[in-house]
Amino acid sequence: MSAPAAEYGRVPALLAQHRPRHGEPAFRALVILASLTVLAVIAGLVVVIARESLRGIAYNGPAFLWGTTWDPVHSVFGALPFIYGTILTSVSALVLAMLIGVGVALFLAELAPRWLAGPVGFMVEMLAAIPSVVYGLWGIFVLAPWIRDYVEVPLHDTLGFLPFFTGNPIGIGNLEAVVVLTIMVLPTVAAVSRDVVAAVPLSQREAALALGATRWETIRLGVFPYARSGIIGAGILGLARGIGETMAVTMVIGNAPTISLSLFSQGYTMASVIANEFTEATTDLYRSSLIEIGLLLLIVTLLINAAARLLVWRVAYGASARNVLA
């Protein structure tokens, strides 16, 4: 602890000797420029998407938000099935990925021996490097028949009276989209959570252990409160991945704009309908309505992000408030 202090003392002297002071404003300008670039890109994106969707907004009106029919032939455009599909698949996938991902993170950071933690962590991160079209192909050719024969058909035969298990189980549909998305979101959640858990100071665990806590109690009392906001942050990143995912979902969800509680039903997401129909949208109104879906996707993402941030803030604030009280 004494070495850095000594270094601190020497730094201003070094600067004074070798460097004129105008490096500082230049650096400042550079980083400000870098942040402004991001802002400019987002602003440009929003302006262009909004402008291009004006025609659709004028024609479709507010009913675009709750309309359930998407009929390009008769120019009837309602986006509700896509909003429903996007939220259903990404939120379900997030919940599943959080359960598995936080488990993976705790195992890797707290329990696993070092020789195992390295390879397993690497494998989890590798999941993120697989192109989504590969997940899609795997979903169609491997997972779909398996889910149909070993999950959907048995569920349909035994619990088919529940609204969640009605319909024609063909493998492709909401359930499979959720499973594929879960696998795609998992590495983000697991890797970030692992780093967050690993960053919890040792003194937290030592304090809990000193009080006679078991391993689970140590994690619950010492690690979780500290890592909670970071883990929720991992969830936000994962959700963003899930909402925007296009290719893999398009290949496995069945692309039918229906609103159904059934896991076996085919569904549709906002990103998928844009990917499917944009290239062959031959009229201006049709194209503009698709861009309007893009605008809506941007807004939904923004709202979900804001909600999640509010959650982080409340959790972090609530935790520190409790700590103070305790």
Partner 1 sequence: MAIDLRARWGALAVIAAVTFGACSASVGSSSAPAGAGGGNAPAASVAAPASAVDYSSVSPSTTIGKNDKAEVTGAGSTAIYPWLSAVAQIYQQQVAPGVAVNYQAIGSGGGIAQFQAKTVDFGASDIYLSDAQEQQIGVPVLNVPMIHWAAAMTYNLPGFTGEVRFSPATIAGIYLGKITNWNDPALAADNPGVKLPNLGITVAHRSDGSGTTMNFTSFLSDTSPAWKSTVGAGLSVNWPVGAGGKGSAGVTALVKQTPGAIGYVELSYALQNNLPVGLVKNAAGNFIKPTLASTTAAVAAAVPNAPADLRFLIVNPPASSPNAYPIGASTWVLLYKDYPASKATEVKAMIDFLWWAIHNGQSYAAQVDYSAMAPDLVTKVEAVLKSVTVGGQPVLP
Site residues for partner 1 per CB under 8 A: 69-74, 76, 129, 131-134, 140-141, 144-145, 168, 170-173, 247, 250-251, 254-257, 266, 272, 275-284, 286-287
87 closest CA partner among 193, 177, 191: 177
Nearer to partner 1 among residue 229 and residue 272 (C-beta): 272
Angle between helices 80-106 and 174-198 (to 10 degrees): 40
Nearer to partner 1 among residue 188 and residue 229 (C-beta): 188
Nearer to partner 1 among residue 115 and residue 122 (C-beta): 122
Q: How far is CA 126 from CA 129, 130, 184, 188, in A?
A: 5, 7, 11, 11
Nearer to partner 1 among residue 247 and residue 259 (C-beta): 247
Residue 29: exposure state from Cβ atoms within 10 A (0-12, 13-18, ≥19): exposed
Nearer to partner 1 among residue 155 and residue 281 (C-beta): 281
Least distance to partner 1 from the beta carbon of 238, Å?
A: 17
Least distance to partner 1 from the beta carbon of 30, Å?
A: 18
Least distance to partner 1 from the beta carbon of 198, Å?
A: 22
Q: What angle do CA 142, 101, 176 make, to 5 degrees?
A: 30
224: which 2 tokens? Answer: 């979780």
Torsion sign over Cα 306, 312, 317, 322: positive
Are the C-beta atoms of 275 and 250 separated by less than 8 Å? yes
